[in-house]
């Protein structure tokens, strides 16, 4: 009887330019809405509305603070998204034997899959441990980017054949 395999890793996604633009637009919209409330209702009645607007903006900003948790258990990979260190949502779950291929993001073997939709569960930087695998995401064949550590890749190596897993050289 073989031993159970359980590996987990937490990756923090870095903010990019699109996130900063979205934050600025949301803040500008909130300020505009607050000014409109003061203009139409006066300063005293609109205080509650302004507090509600600030609370909603705070909650929306929390959606930009994202961490991904990779959980590898006995041949299955789960990727959870953690928003603002409060709310967890399962984004991906599959058995690694279902993967068509898994290779480092710079590997030439991935060229034929560039036309597929891409889903990014990484920090946003291309590092030495950034891999891409081809699998089903929401029912569609997709390229999925993630950053497993060496322990997870080694554990996956036992479940993926050498024709499917191409490690960084």
Question: What is the per-residue pLDDT across 75-88, written as a single tens digit (0 to 9) for each?
Answer: 899 999 999 998 99
pLDDT number for residue 102:
92
Q: Alpha carbon of 117 to those of 18, 121, 131, 169: distances in Å?
A: 19, 13, 15, 26
pLDDT number for residue 1:
43
Parallel/antiparallel/unpaired status of strands 102-104 and 165-166: parallel
pLDDT in tens, 23-34: 999 999 999 998
By 3-state DSSP, what share of the chain in percent is helix, strand and coil, each rounded to 5? Answer: 35, 35, 35
pLDDT number for residue 115:
92
Burial of 164 per CB tally in 10 Å (0-12, 13-18, 19+): middle
- The reported pTM is 0.84
163 Cβ contact partners less than 8 Å away, ≥ 6 residues apart: none
Lowest mean pLDDT among 104-108, 136-140, 161-165: 161-165
User: Average pLDDT in the 48-61 region?
Assistant: 89
Q: Of residues 169 and 31, which shows the higher confidence score?
A: 31
Q: Sort residue 103 into left (φ over 0), alpha (ψ -120 to 50) or beta.
A: beta
In percent, the amount of the chain with pLDDT more than 70 equals 98
pLDDT number for residue 128:
80
Q: Is the pLDDT of residue 72 over 70?
A: yes
Angle separating helix axes 17-41 and 46-62, nearest 10 degrees = 170
H-helix or E-strand containing 59?
A: helix 46-62
Parallel/antiparallel/unpaired status of strands 140-146 and 87-95: unpaired
pLDDT number for residue 169:
65
- Calculate the average pLDDT of the chain: 89
Q: How far apart are CA 72 and CA 94, in angstroms?
A: 10
């Amino acid at each position: 009887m073989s031993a159970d395999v359980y590996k987990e890793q937490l990756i923090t996604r870095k903010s990019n330019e699109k996130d900063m633009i979205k934050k600025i637009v949301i803040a500008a919209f909130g300020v505009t809405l607050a000014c409109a409330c003061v203009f139409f209702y006066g300063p005293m009645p609109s205080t509650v509305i302004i507090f509600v607007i600030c609370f909603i903006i705070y909650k929306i900003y929390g959606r930009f603070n994202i961490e991904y948790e990779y959980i590898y258990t006995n041949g299955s990979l789960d990727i959870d998204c953690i928003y603002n260190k409060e709310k967890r949502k399962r984004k991906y779950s599959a058995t690694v034997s279902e993967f068509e291929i898994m290779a480092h993001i710079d590997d030439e073997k991935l060229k034929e899959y560039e036309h597929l939709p891409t889903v990014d569960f990484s920090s946003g930087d291309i590092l030495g441990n950034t891999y891409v695998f081809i699998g089903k995401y929401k029912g569609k064949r997709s390229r999925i980017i993630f950053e497993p550590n060496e322990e997870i890749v080694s554990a996956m190596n036992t479940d993926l054949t050498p024709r499917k897993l191409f490690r960084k050289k």
